[in-house]
Amino acid sequence: MSSTPVFHDDSEQNRDLTQPCATFPFLQLPKELRLQIYTYLSTHIHKPIDCVFPKRFGYWPVNIYPPSLLISRSIYDEAMDFVNDLQPAAVLCRPNQQQKYCALQAALQRGCEIDRAWLKTNACGGQNPRISPAAVDAALQILLEKVPYSQRRNPTILHQSYRDLRHFFAQTIIRLRRDSQIHLTLWVETRPYKRFWNWYGSERSARAVAWYTADSGGVWLLRCNLLSAIASGQTGVTTKVTVRGEKGDKAYEWIKQLFEVGAYRSSEDVECVPLEKDVYKKLLEGPFVGEGT
């Protein structure tokens, strides 16, 4: 008598859900392969230096990861160290924020000095912190002396702003260990000046011309302040200035003409690169923009 074959149903409905599922040994992969995987998981955004007041200091590049990566502390730290620490220090702002950028540079200079002294006596790795808290606190103190916050504001809002500034200083000081140069990108754009038209309806009025040439004065003043700080020995953190703007925009074309063929043509440390406005807007899109996180 032939026996009837017995089929075992291994479908999801008949599995014992109480048994733990097998996990993939991700940490056993070669480090080079893990680092390559991190590059596919990260999202590159421009986060406000102060998320509570996004237009106060500008933006800086940072990579973020999905929340699932936060499950393992070792994986998250490895991914953050690889993607963020190896990036160059960079800031994106407008020319009219040049005074605040000089304050950021002075603060970073003080933080880097304390960080270099701290690295001589502390080894990074293991349970040791990646950066000295004293370096971050000193940088924040210098910045608040030059660009103070009103103490009348809500203490919760001030706490969020200080937290964002500490994050920026900590990450940027770590990046400056590899290259003591900040890549500063200035976005120039012609601002509306229709209310300055004369009664003939002409755009050639003096006030209208001054409105779209104002950014060139901010770029030149920033360059003079940076060169003066380096010449006087006030800072060892240099700045590479790149002016970005939409091709055909009056403000951008005016600055490009001045720094390439005009009165400022000897300024080789200022580079003009066109960028579509839609691309610029995408750079600022992200979960951090406009949020106090």
DSSP classification of residue 49: S
Tell me the per-residue pLDDT of 66-114, one tens digit each, with 9 for 90 and over. Answer: 777 667 777 777 777 777 777 889 999 988 888 899 999 999 999 999 9
pTM, full prediction: 0.77
The amino acid occupying position 222 is: L
- CB of 242 within 8 A of CB of 185? yes
Q: Which residue type occupies 66? A: P
Q: Is the pLDDT of residue 7 over 70?
A: no
* Phi, psi for 243 (deg, rounded to 5): -95, 120
As a whole number, mean pLDDT of residues 190-214 equals: 59
The percentage of the chain sitting over the pLDDT mark of 70, rounded to a whole number, equals 75
CB 154 within 8 A of CB 65: no
Q: Give the N- to C-terminal CA distance of the chain in Å, as an integer.
A: 74
- pLDDT confidence of 196, banded at 50, 70, 90? very low
* Contact of 90 with 184, CB cutoff 8 Å: yes
Asked if residues 96 and 216 have their Cβ atoms less than 8 Å apart, the reply is: no
Beta-strand ranges (E) seen in 105-259 are 181-187, 238-245
- Looking at residue 73, what is its pLDDT? 74
